[in-house]
Structure 1
Amino acid sequence: MNMSMNDEYGLPALERLLRCPSPTGYTELAMNLVAEEAARFGYAMERTAKGGGIITIQGTQPGPATLLSAHIDTLGAMVRSVKSGGTLRLTPVGGFMMQSIENEYCLIHTRSGRTYSGTILTSKPSVHVYEDARDFKRDEANYEVRIDEPVRSKEDVAALGISAGDAVSFDPRPVFFPNGFIKSRHLDDKASVAVLLSLLEHFARTGQRPRRTVKLLISNYEEIGHGSSYIPEGVEEMIAVDMGAIGDDLTCTERDVSICAKDSTGPYDWEMTTRLVELAKKNGLSYAVDIYPKYGSDASAALRGGHNIRTALLGPGVHASHGMERTHADALRNTFSLLLAYIK
């Protein structure tokens, strides 16, 4: 069986995903994009009640299905309130450092369907004006959105149709380099979604099928902890495909597939994790096994939801997670090949 990811599909698919806004709570556009990509290869995506997606790849042998999950939702924000001068106060969606979004371009998505451009700034954004601009505390209360419209009051903002509860997405700024590096916001977890879509492309192009039925879960609430509280019936094992962390006390690099043995919720299934390590070795993949004490996944959410399943966690190595992230095409390739080896 050909074990290689088709870069001519997978990398452009990743860019399409990255450019589609999908902060948690505002994911319908991105879910529709995933459904369109799946339909290109003859796969229908079933929608769950809370807006996630399930795609089934029929296996050649009977038996329990394997679930592979990746999440389409990203970090983002919502409008908390409109300030007197016509700027917007934010409330974060997902866990990130507020300073990581300072000076970032953003979009405001209103409930009437209109979209406006803005910039996220502190309320003291210039050293030429504010003596304490450099030392100003970087917390939620001190950030605001400057809307790219002629607004100077709450009334001006209301006339645009912007109000509390509107979604705010951050400009991902994706760049794909000839040397394989990819930098962008939201590689967590759109890099993994692109890998799962590449599996669909692979099976459609080669006519091959997995040994057992595989279900792909595209979750849309992972960043707030309940992306996979529901999983389909007939599943006994689940692999969450999510980014691998990089930094102190970790061996993963931007070119590896990360296999997580334990995160903040505890150890993953011993036998599944061991099998993944053995397959990575057997297939000559660049991989790392690490412990992530500040991390949780869709697999741990499924276990908290009471599902009687075995779980594992793997994914492409991503540097500066929940910030300005970077990975490498090799990490996507290694993740794809390990998943294919597991399900074949």
Structure 2
Amino acid sequence: MILPFIILSSCKNNQKTSDDIKKTDSISNTEKDSTEMSVRTATLFSFNNEDNTEIIKISGSEASDNDDFWLAGEKNILIVSKYKKDKGNELLIQKDTLLVSDYNHVNIDRKHFLRKKDYFLFATMESPLGNGDLGLYLSFFMLNLKTLKFYILKYEGESTLRSGNFVDGKFIEDKSLDSNVTIKEELYEFANKSKWIYNPSGLDKDINYYRNFEQKWHLDNDPEGSKTLYPAIIKSTYYSEDLFKFNGDYDKDQFIENADYKIVTYFRNNVIGYDKNKKLYFPITVESCDIGCDKKIEFVSENEIEISYEDSTQQADTIDLNKIEFTNNPL
């Protein structure tokens, strides 16, 4: 019997490999398709069936010139196609669309995939074009190689201070997966092994740990994640760790100070305070965006700061530092 196999096509090497394929960084061959997938189409994965009479290909449109696994068009499409082998020719017998992504870059994980007897699992990451959306959207696919029926488990989040380059978010519940428990379990097991997802360990699991100060602030001030304005009474937490250093670099015009406090506003990001008397750091506001939320700060009294915004239509806020409610006592 001829065993089924996976091919990651390469410009330099088109040799076929077995199901135990090593996950290489080879770049796939480029194909042309005059139908849905115009301009440039790359074959990303390729499989033979058990009796070597059919071949299945997963292809992506608008592949980057430098990396076939990075789809960089305004509209990116993933297609699965099944061909019948006939005297050296490949006859298309079935085709389906796995993904259509408008105004997003699409990254296909070339290293994290899994071939089972009748299924193939792989992952994509969509990152929006432009400045309006900081989100990162992961999709974990499970494709039936006989029927081309597929299932998707989604995970949504963004890169945060604590997660670095990993995606900090959550899985999106999909009731359609509940009807097939085995498929659902396979998808979650595969997804949880993804290098893209932030998986905290050790102290990072403690919400009170300083690396989680953003999440702690939101939990205390906006647990539902629905507020667009600062709460009337801000809740915060004291930290002995240097939150200025953890949050990142800032310029001279991004901080103010007096005898009691030093306050830093990060570009389109958090406002953090330091109590010089207690020698402790505390977040004042926690937010991030790519447009519209840069802030200027100034003292209007010894204990009050005014926050004004780059969006001139947004009214300035005044925060009394003495009225912040702290969830812990000074050390």
User: Which of 1 and 2 has greater Rg?
Assistant: 2
Structure showing the higher strand proportion among its residues = 2
Using the size of structure 2 for normalisation, the TM-score is: 0.27
Larger relative contact order (Cα-Cα within 8 Å, sequence gap ≥ 6):
1
